[in-house]
Chain A
Amino acid sequence: MYAFNYHVPDSLADVSSTLQQCDDAQVLAGGMTLLPTLKQRLAAPSDLVDLRNVQALQGIAKIDGGVRIGAMATHASVAGSALVQAQIPALAELAGGIGDAQVRHRGTLGGSIANNDPAADYPAALLALDAIIETDQREIPAGVFFTGMFETALAEHELIIAVRFADCATAAYAKFPNPASRYAMAGVFVARLAAGAVRVAVTGAAACVYRNEPLEQHLAQRFDAQSLSVVEIDTDGFNEDMHADAAYRGQLVRVMAQRAVDAARTRGIA
């Protein structure tokens, strides 16, 4: 790891001013991606700004019609939150399946979505649930937040404060984890929104999380797993690696979508 300066501010204003003053500062949330990247010398920020003492980024709260989760909420805290389990159980379940127990104790919601790993789990939930990302500058709908591989709509030094999720009728997430890394080779979050629309967000299969509209249209007609066997999965631009080619990932997307629909139906439609 290259050397860097370390800061641990305790207010948003101090985070912001520290970021502005440093040459090439990077914020540190849970560090579950950043620290391995630094260890491999793939990044060399001049300064790390640790967010752990900023109260404004903490907490999980009930809001009108949904849940608001602070950017620094760990995966373990989301998975274990009685509120999230009651309001959006699919989200608690997703958080409880990220990485392993020790990673879930450190990794955060804000860190995960700011990084936008093509195989991360949270982006699928945000996209399918039409979540709103609150930053220190504005509010960004999830639909325009995830812009490409490891890229987001965040401007330089813009900081995620929290994410708002609206309650939905029913939802579920199914993923096929890589047996070694536990990252999704394909993960599908299916949500039936309160207004009745169906959302299907796919992670792990392409360069960036995306909505599969043919699956959505099909499920809007008939919310049934079996019927998805006839929908063609467009695999153009899908990831290909030693673990799976595009066609195999296409099949995984279909099967994960079917599993998610089954689980969402079992959970019941509110």
Chain B
Amino acid sequence: MTTTITLTVNGTEHTAAVEPRMLLVDFLREHLQLTGTHVGCETSQCGACVVHLNGQSVKSCTLLAVQANGSAVTTIEGLANGDDLHPVQQMFREHHGLQCGFCTPGMIMSAVDLLQRHPDPSEQQIREWLDGNLCRCTGYQNIVKAIRAAADHGAANVRV
């Protein structure tokens, strides 16, 4: 049995019939082909699947698509404005905030949420906020540096 849901994803409304057990991350990746959101641990720990649901960062592997019915979702694909990267994306690039890139979409979506709440976070606040995002390459140092630099570049003022 399917349920019909309507979601606004990156500003575009989508209506689809889904099984209630379909996870939001699977809906994004398989139904909408938005494969920027990654599936890592699938146990709500790694944060590779972080997207924004009505402006809050959430783990889309631990959310049913039907729970997001009527909501606005922003994924990593919705951050850049054409060829202009979001300041957080730009700073990850400049400060070498990634190596393999697997955690990066979730890491960036999480960081964007942090900067919207705390436009000028301390290093401690950044590290605490990243509790739910695991990176196995960078040792986090350059991720923290990139997020701090994004704050200096006014990331909080960019609407997503």
**Footprint of B on A, CB under 8 Å?**
1-6, 8, 28, 31-32, 35-36, 38-39, 48, 50, 52, 76, 99-103, 105-106, 180-182
Contact = CB atoms under 8 A, between A and B. Distances in A.
Contacts of A76: 56
Contact of A6 (B57, B66, B132): B66
B67 A52 contact: yes
Nearest to B22: A1
Interface residues of B, number: 29
B64 A101 contact: no
B58 A106 contact: yes
Contacts of A31: 62-64, 67
Interface string B7-50: 00000000000011100000000000000000000111101001
**Interface of B (DSSP majority class):** mixed
Contact of A35 (B45, B53, B63, B131): B63
B132 A1 contact: no
A101 B143 CA distance: 17
Given A8-B69, A102-B44, 16 more contacts: A5-B20, A6-B66, A8-B66, A31-B62, A31-B63, A32-B62, A36-B43, A38-B21, A50-B66, A100-B133, A101-B57, A101-B129, A102-B58, A103-B132, A106-B62, A106-B63
Contacts of B3: 6
A200 B53 CA distance: 38
A263 B72 CA distance: 40
A105 B58 contact: yes
B110 interface: yes
B1 interface: yes
B20 A36 contact: no
A32 B44 contact: yes
Nearest to B114: A101
B59 A103 contact: yes
Given A2-B21, A5-B20, A31-B67, A105 B62 contact: no
Given A3-B21, A4-B21, A5-B20, A102 B67 contact: no
B113 interface: yes
